[in-house]
């Protein structure tokens, strides 16, 4: 009997290893889906809600997906609907989602065997976009150490501020830790009923959250590269330079455009003082990276501001980060290709490096798949809800890019609409190309290449 169980165990392990080697993306999506279901079940007991009643399956699923996918969209208010136990489940789900299921699996593998096996390396490489399996071990350590250190640093900065706001020591510590984890992981969940709106002018409270969101949106490969080359910026990789440059440019553009469109809006920036306006503009400029926090009523913003936010959310943050979207490096590669084509250059060059053409193909594919997911989901929600296109598009892009910003209509979604956003959040977090690869039946390797012929473009 024991031999039979042992044989089945090793047979199952060999099967998992084989799937991991042959189709790591498929296994990653499967495991990620299983984790979402586990947290859904943890949120369904009556003690998970403040009222002591069972949470409906769709609400538990939506919340679990939003937490694991570090999105922040909610159909029930986090601070009042869920009990302390429910909020602990949510913050753990955020932490797991931020680290990445595959990265967490490698951490557990190191704890057990003191080393990372080939299977764990392949899985983590798929999750973290690491190109060299030898870098996975270092990256995993950076992931767990850096993320926890930054989260605790944010919590330590926020703790005295919550004390000043007349919260008890325990309540201040809990809120500081929750915001620290939620900020760095770009989750957008808030543990208080009123959120951050009452603190719109509080630099001491909002600035650590802004910094945490921005660092979290850069991606662990960038953090690893900066830590390794902190004494010599010339050793920064092209990926690091593109991520930092595009992230800074997008934040500055967002701040300028938001100021232009909302400066005199009586429902947003209008009544605020100059220093508060600057803080609000900075906060609003960083949050579309995938942060999802807001200090003003997003539903009261002008439609032009919604459209700009749509574009910024769709781009998102850095690759292998806690942010979503098509990623800033994807946008950077396409812009570089456009400039090269306009100049008549044969190669795509940036920071003294030539970018391979297959990178451009991948960038186009990621963008097209993301746009298709947004298009189909928008059509579905338009038919389901009857809402206007501007509102639907904002909610859909926020879900796909795992941002969490909302015009205030998410809670009124019909049940079918909630399932649509659940699928969209899952696709956005696992990655458009990863999800597509997981669904692919086989890898196609062609030996014979067809004759080349150039079609007319434009």
pLDDT at 135: 55
pLDDT at 432: 65
* 458 in any annotated domain: no
Q: Say how far apart CA 290 and CA 216 lie, in whole Å.
A: 9
pLDDT at 9: 43
* 450 in any annotated domain: no
* 9 in any annotated domain: no
Low-confidence ranges of the chain (pLDDT < 70): 1-27, 101-139, 142, 432-447
**Residue range of the domain that includes 345:** 20-439
pLDDT at 10: 46
Q: Can you spell out the DSSP letters for 84-126? A: HHHHHHHHHHHHHHHH-HHHHHHHHHHHHHSS--HHHHHHHHH
pLDDT at 11: 53
20 SS3 class: helix
Q: State the total domains in the chain.
A: 1
Q: What are phi and psi of 348, to 5 degrees?
A: -100, 110
* 80 in any annotated domain: yes
* 383 in any annotated domain: yes
* 14 in any annotated domain: no
* 114 in any annotated domain: yes
Q: State pTM to two decimals.
A: 0.88
* 453 in any annotated domain: no
User: Which CB contacts under 8 angstroms, 24+ apart, belong to 89-92?
Assistant: 89/39, 89/42, 89/43, 89/48, 90/43, 90/63, 90/189, 91/177, 91/178, 91/181, 91/182, 91/189, 92/39
pLDDT at 219: 84
**pLDDT digits over 254-312, tens only?**
999 999 999 999 999 999 999 999 999 999 999 998 899 999 999 999 999 999 999 99
- In order of 60, 250, 323, the CA distances from 37 in angstroms are 9, 35, 22
């Amino acid at each position: 009997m024991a031999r039979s169980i042992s044989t089945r165990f090793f047979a199952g392990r060999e099967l998992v290893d084989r799937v991991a080697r042959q189709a790591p993306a498929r296994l990653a999506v499967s495991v990620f889906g299983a984790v979402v279901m586990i947290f859904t079940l943890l949120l369904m007991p009556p003690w998970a809600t403040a009222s002591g009643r069972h949470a409906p399956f769709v609400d538990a699923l939506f919340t679990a997906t939003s937490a694991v996918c570090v999105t922040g969209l909610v159909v029930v208010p986090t601070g009042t609907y869920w009990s302390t136990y429910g909020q602990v489940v949510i913050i753990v789900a955020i932490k797991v989602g931020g680290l990445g299921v595959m990265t967490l699996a490698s951490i557990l593998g190191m704890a057990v065997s003191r080393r990372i096996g080939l299977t764990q390396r392949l899985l983590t490489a798929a999750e973290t976009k690491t190109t060299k399996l030898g870098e996975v071990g270092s990256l995993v350590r950076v992931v767990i150490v850096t993320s926890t250190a930054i989260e605790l640093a944010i919590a330590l900065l926020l703790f005295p501020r919550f004390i000043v706001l007349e919260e008890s020591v325990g309540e201040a510590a809990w809120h500081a830790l929750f915001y620290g984890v939620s900020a760095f992981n770009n989750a957008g969940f808030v543990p208080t009923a009123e959120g951050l709106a009452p603190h719109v002018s509080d630099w001491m409270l909002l600035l650590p959250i802004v910094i945490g969101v921005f660092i979290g949106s850069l991606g662990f490969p960038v953090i690893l590269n900066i830590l390794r080359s902190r004494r010599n910026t010339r050793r920064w990789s092209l990926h690091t330079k593109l991520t930092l440059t595009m992230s800074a440019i997008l934040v500055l553009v967002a701040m300028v455009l938001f100021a232009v469109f909302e400066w005199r809006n009586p429902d947003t920036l209008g009544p605020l003082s100059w220093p508060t306006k600057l803080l609000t503009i900075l906060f609003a400029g960083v949050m579309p990276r995938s942060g999802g926090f807001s200090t003003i009523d997003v539903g009261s913003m002008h439609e032009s501001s919604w459209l700009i936010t749509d574009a910024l959310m769709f781009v998102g943050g850095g690759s292998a980060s806690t942010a979503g979207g098509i990623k800033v490096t994807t946008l950077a590669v396409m812009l570089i290709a456009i400039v090269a084509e306009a100049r008549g250059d044969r190669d795509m060059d940036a920071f003294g490096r030539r970018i391979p053409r297959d990178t451009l193909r991948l960038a186009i594919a990621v963008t097209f798949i993301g746009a298709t997911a947004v298009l189909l989901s928008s059509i579905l929600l338009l038919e389901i809800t009857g809402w206007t296109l501007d509102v639907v598009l904002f909610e859909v892009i926020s879900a796909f890019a795992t941002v969490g910003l909302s015009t205030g209509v998410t809670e009124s979604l019909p049940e079918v609409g909630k399932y649509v956003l659940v699928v969209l959040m899952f696709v956005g977090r696992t990655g458009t190309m990863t999800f597509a690869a997981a669904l692919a039946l086989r890898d196609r390797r062609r030996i014979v290449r067809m004759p080349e012929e150039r079609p007319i473009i434009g």
